[in-house]
């Protein structure tokens, strides 16, 4: 038997999956159940998992699958109907399996805003952003909100979320997050020439920026974009 809170949480998760195909976040579950902390959500999730009501899909954030509801406990499995059976009434009694929820979502850190124009401070705090797993490859990723229009010709617009693979190396011509003089970060094409580092915009209204190699630190390279339409 489930406690009242366990039952409420199970119903909330199921409703969210039916509505959007994506499991609610722990913050959303905490607010829906009026809990004081996310640790209470973790305990409820673990209890439901131990009792076989839900399961966590591996290697995915916000990925929960509801296996059964408390009302299912007294339902006996139906006898399978052979594929060549003509008994339509028997077929009607066989419960249809619901499609698996579209839980291919990963939560990655969201670090402030990054300039696609004049460099501004990045990594100025941290929250998270839910991203379709198909947009990311292997490795560690984070997101930055783009500010400015210097990369518009590369399809990167003000307000987009740049999905960045964390790395300190890159090839010439790749779009990178470059930390300038240890203080400011910008999103640009990086090229090396004559012992210097050139950060190129993708907008004719902006000039390339030239720095010494010791003035630039690569903090990641662009892996994808996420755009919200209002």
* Residue ranges covered by each domain of the chain: 4-73, 105-226
Rounded Cα distance between 28 and 22, Å, is 12
104-125: pLDDT as tens digits: 677 888 887 887 765 544 554 5
Task: Please pick, among 25, 30, 165, 188, the residue that the annotation labels catalytic.
Answer: 188
Band of pLDDT at residue 61, cut at 50, 70 and 90: low
**What is the DSSP-derived secondary structure letter of residue 25?**
P
What residues are paired with 178 via a beta bridge?
A: 186, 218
105-226 CATH fold: Umud Fragment, subunit A (2.10.109)
199-213: pLDDT as tens digits: 999 999 999 999 999
Identify which has the larger pLDDT, 136 or 169.
169
Helix axes 38-50, 4-20, angle to 10 degrees: 90
Task: Please pick, among 147, 150, 165, 221, the residue that the annotation labels catalytic.
Answer: 150
pTM: 0.54
Write out the CATH class of domain 4-73.
mainly alpha
- β-bridge pairing 105-115 and 141-147: parallel
Rounded Cα distance between 97 and 37, Å, is 35
Please confirm, yes or no, whether 188 is among the known catalytic residues: yes
How far apart, in Å, are the Cα atoms of 18 and each of 12, 15, 127, 133? 10, 5, 26, 20
Identify which has the larger pLDDT, 46 or 213.
213
What residues are paired with 212 via a beta bridge?
A: none
Please confirm, yes or no, whether 150 is among the known catalytic residues: yes
């Amino acid at each position: 038997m489930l406690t009242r809170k366990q039952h409420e949480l199970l119903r909330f998760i199921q409703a969210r999956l039916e509505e959007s195909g994506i499991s609610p976040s722990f913050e959303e579950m905490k607010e829906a159940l009026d809990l004081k902390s996310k640790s209470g959500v973790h305990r409820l999730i673990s209890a439901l998992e131990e009792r076989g009501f839900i399961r966590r899909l591996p290697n995915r954030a916000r990925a929960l699958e509801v296996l059964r509801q408390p009302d299912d406990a007294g339902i006996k499995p139906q006898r399978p109907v052979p594929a060549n059976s003509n008994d339509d009434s028997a077929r009607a009694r066989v419960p249809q399996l619901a499609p698996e929820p579209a839980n291919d979502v990963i939560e990655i850190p969201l670090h402030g805003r990054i300039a696609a124009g004049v460099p501004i401070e990045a990594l100025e705090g941290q929250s998270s952003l839910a991203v379709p797993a198909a947009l990311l490859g292997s490795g560690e990723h984070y997101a930055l909100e783009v500010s400015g229009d210097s990369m518009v010709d590369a399809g990167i617009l003000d307000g987009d979320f740049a999905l960045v693979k964390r790395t300190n190396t890159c090839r010439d011509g790749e779009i990178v997050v470059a930390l300038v003089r240890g203080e400011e970060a910008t999103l640009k094409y990086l090229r090396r020439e004559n012992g210097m580092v050139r950060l190129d915009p993708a907008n004719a209204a902006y000039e390339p920026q030239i720095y010494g190699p010791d003035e630039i630190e690569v903090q990641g390279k662009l892996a994808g974009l996420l755009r919200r339409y209002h």
